[in-house]
Structure 1
């Protein structure tokens, strides 16, 4: 807005207003008086431009975007959360018992199965680092008779604090669809506010007899780490939204609705192709890199699942990802699930990497 208000332009403007009969050359009294003033005024214009940007949601910095969103829509960034995992033990352990695995500590929070001695275990480190580690834990304090303590499964993924641009989009989207009284936006807003949910789709659905009647709503969810959610997360969402499923409105679903919470399904994509390698390279050398490239492509697809009618795994895109791997010279005869064509997924499916043969 004030791009033309630079130090040089301001100084020249001030000097131009001084009569030419006076010495205005660099080093003169007039020049030396106006130069620092021009620098200060240029800084003032920079501050004015910054303040102007904070007035609009598209350009506001995070601090002022949060203030604007809270004042206009009553929403704030989603906070970072703690990972909830399943711990398996050979004996019963008290709630509150603490364990360590690597650099992270965990605390037992809830019993899952007293016969198999499985518990919910919460990582004490906030954020997504707690989603990544599994294996044998070490008790922080001695427990008599304990010989097995394993972290076996991620139940509810942790999330980092909501990214600024993601929050900005959520704030902008809140003007386009008002959440109210069990409409689609209301279900989406309430479900996605639950820890561990990364995306959702909501539809009308049939009753137990297969009849499309009023009041039945199917909500398909994806976990916040862009994967198939655990049964624990699906159950948690069901209990929060509609625990009784009797149209009585004892959850967040309104009276007259029955909400059916389901997990997104995974579609395994097997990939075979003929790869020409650079000298001194073979499939064993590049396999992990190829799998990583494919996983990154699938993740970028899955991130768009909520806003897509159905995802399409594009064969040419797979080839493009593979050929960019170091050691790969050329690729041909690519097949996805045995066919030389794109794979169109159902609305409630996300791609899962299967076997890769090259």
Structure 2
């Protein structure tokens, strides 16, 4: 805690023992090893421990100090504190996506077919398994696309395109499987800091009578939601639109969208069957992604050897972090040319750059992000 109460300060074993001995008459032997000293020393030790326990009890009694900074630790005391205000920790969400099966035309791949990524013996990375959530019949060209969901919830299910290659369930007539797009929207169980942030939003910015703050609180109660934008009068009077992001600040998956819709307004008839009040018709949608494509020429430092691929990876990491930072920021809805230029100059192995273009614009032109839209990283082209 920032400030320990006065009555718990300096409660060391030595200080407590000295105070106890000071209460003993001066004509009695109080030296170390005496009967009085030996009798009071264990008591002083136990009292000093009790003071530490009291400090820990106070720390765990307040949300701000009960929350851990580590993403791997979940505080049970924080769960109890936030639950008093109706804020509960969001569970992990399974990643979702789609795979393309290839094989004999007319082959039926049933719902519940398991596919997986291969394990990597070099890095020790284990295989990630997925299951199809709908059946598919291979078309005349011998291919068919089926939706999938990770078997184990969490971010581990978010994998790049082309890495799902194994058929865990044998299906006669299928020769191969792959995922043409990355799997997305898998999230781990909510961290203490995220839970604390939602708790503060609830108690400090009270949502009432279906105002914007309350719609944002309702949507944020669903696992996997990483951002909410409310559009009042979305389709005229009596309508509300909600645009959603996942925790990676990308457009939320359909599963997350459906879960929020079910939570807030499942019937969409104004009857108030969900958390939304009777009257408004609420429509929940994923945010519209606006891809930001970057092309640039760079001058590399000679002191630290590097490859173009390494530079591209660093640019992607920096720009992606910037775009996540400004997601759904209506106070400044611009992807700024100068901020992307700053990302380049912040990379130590880049001495200088030239011919920077963003979405084909060579001049210093900002990209405006509209309501319900989110900027996401597209292609990054790097040359010398």
TM above 0.5: yes
CA 1:264/1:29 → structure 2, altered by over 3 Å: closer, same or farther? farther
Which residue in 1 is equivalent to 2:82? Answer: 69
Tell me the SS of whatever aligns to 2:10: coil
Alignment partner of 2:318 out of 271, 294, 301: 294
CA 1:8/1:281 → structure 2, altered by over 3 Å: closer, same or farther? same
Which residue in 1 is equivalent to 2:146? Answer: 119
Which residues of structure 2 form unaligned runs of 5+? Answer: 68-74, 119-126
Alignment partner of 1:158 out of 181, 186, 193: 186
Distance 2:203 2:296 in 1: 46
1:293–1:322 Cα contact (<8 Å) kept: no
Q: 1:249-276 CA distances to partner (integer Å, 9 max, x unpaired)?
A: 6776554434344424325163646545
Distance 1:81 1:19 in 2: 67
Q: Please state if 1:167 is matched with 2:189.
A: no
Which residue in 2 is equivalent to 1:101? Answer: 117
Distance 1:236 1:36 in 2: 58
RMSD, aligned CA: 3.6
Tell me the SS of whatever aligns to 2:65: coil
Distance 1:308 1:112 in 2: 41
Tell me how far 1:345 sits from its aligned partner: 4.2
2:312–2:381 Cα contact (<8 Å) kept: no
Which residue in 2 is equivalent to 1:210? Answer: none
1:205–1:217 Cα contact (<8 Å) kept: yes
Matches within 5 A, 1:27-106: 27-60=33-66, 62-70=75-83, 72-90=84-102, 91-102=107-118, 103-106=127-130
Tell me how far 1:53 sits from its aligned partner: 2.6
- More deviation, 213-222/342-351: 342-351
Distance 2:192 2:152 in 1: 22
Q: Please state if 1:281 is matched with 2:287.
A: no
1:99–1:105 Cα contact (<8 Å) kept: yes
Tell me how far 1:42 sits from its aligned partner: 0.7
Which residues of structure 1 form unaligned runs of 5+? Answer: 208-212
- More deviation, 30-39/78-87: 30-39
2:98–2:181 Cα contact (<8 Å) kept: yes
CA 1:228/1:144 → structure 2, altered by over 3 Å: closer, same or farther? same
Tell me how far 1:159 sits from its aligned partner: 1.4
How many residue pairs match? The answer is 349
Tell me how far 1:201 sits from its aligned partner: 0.6
Distance 2:273 2:30 in 1: 81
Distance 1:82 1:280 in 2: 40
Distance 1:272 1:137 in 2: 34
Alignment partner of 1:4 out of 6, 10, 29: 10
- More deviation, 220-229/347-356: 347-356
Distance 1:271 1:112 in 2: 39
Q: Please state if 1:130 is matched with 2:157.
A: yes
CA 1:38/1:340 → structure 2, altered by over 3 Å: closer, same or farther? farther
TM-score (structure 2 length as normaliser): 0.75
Q: 1:142-193 CA distances to partner (integer Å, 9 max, x unpaired)?
A: 3211113223345661211111121122122212344555432343233334
Q: Please state if 1:216 is matched with 2:239.
A: yes
